[in-house]
Amino acid sequence: MNAVDKEKEKKYNKWIIVLSIIIPIAVAALFAINLRSLGFDVEPLKFLPPIYATVNGLTAIVLIAAVIAIKNKNRKLHEGLMKFAITLSVAFLLMYIAYHMTSDSTKFGGEGVIKYVYYFILITHILLSIVIIPFVLITYVRAITNNIERHKKIAKITFPLWLYVAITGVIVYLMISPYYV
């Protein structure tokens, strides 16, 4: 890696830190704000959960396709798929926030062992969705700054974490969907 690429990566690292802190805080803050309870006349966006669950499922498929592409040495396809995966994740995030700002939270109604399974999946999904932000950003920056060896190293960690978050997002939706009002 040349000096110019090192400088670029340093510049991006500041943004990675900022975004890795701001995104989870903003999501938590916006999640706590319900526009209807603040007096705004907005319709609940109840149609969004199956859409953003589908986006999560599509993200998982795109991530797997991207890994297959790079294993087949198709760097251009891999790059395009990874940009698409990031776009899907941003779309998910925006829909998730919009839903929770206009709708009341849904309580899981299952009982017994399934309740513990649900909460285990939900909690690990939430925690890893926070952890994955800097991993995705660092992995992406290392690719665009042509630091391929370091990109490969972190991608081996980023991929399974991101895939887990995408798949468990679908599972959480499927488990809670019978309890939507």
pLDDT tens-digit map of 52-101: 999 999 999 999 999 999 999 999 999 999 999 999 999 999 999 999 88
Alpha-carbon span 150 to 156, nearest angstrom: 10
Terminal-to-terminal C-alpha distance of the chain: 54
Where helices occur in 33-112 by DSSP H, the ranges are: 48-71, 75-102
What separation in angstroms does the CA of 24 have from each of 27, 35, 45, 123?
5, 19, 22, 14
Q: Is the pLDDT reported for residue 32 higher than 90? A: no
How many structural domains compose the chain? 1
Would you say the pTM of this structure is higher than 0.85?
Answer: yes
Note whether 60 and 88 are within 8 A (CB): no
Residues 122 and 174: their CA atoms lie apart, in Å, by 12
The DSSP output letter for 36 is T
Write the CATH number for 90: 1.20.120
Domain that holds residue 96: 3-179
Dist. CA 52–CA 94, nearest whole Å: 9
pLDDT tens digits, 120-176: 999 999 999 999 999 999 999 999 999 999 999 999 999 999 999 999 999 999 999
C-alpha span between 127 and 164 (Å, rounded): 11
Q: Is the pLDDT of residue 6 over 80?
A: no
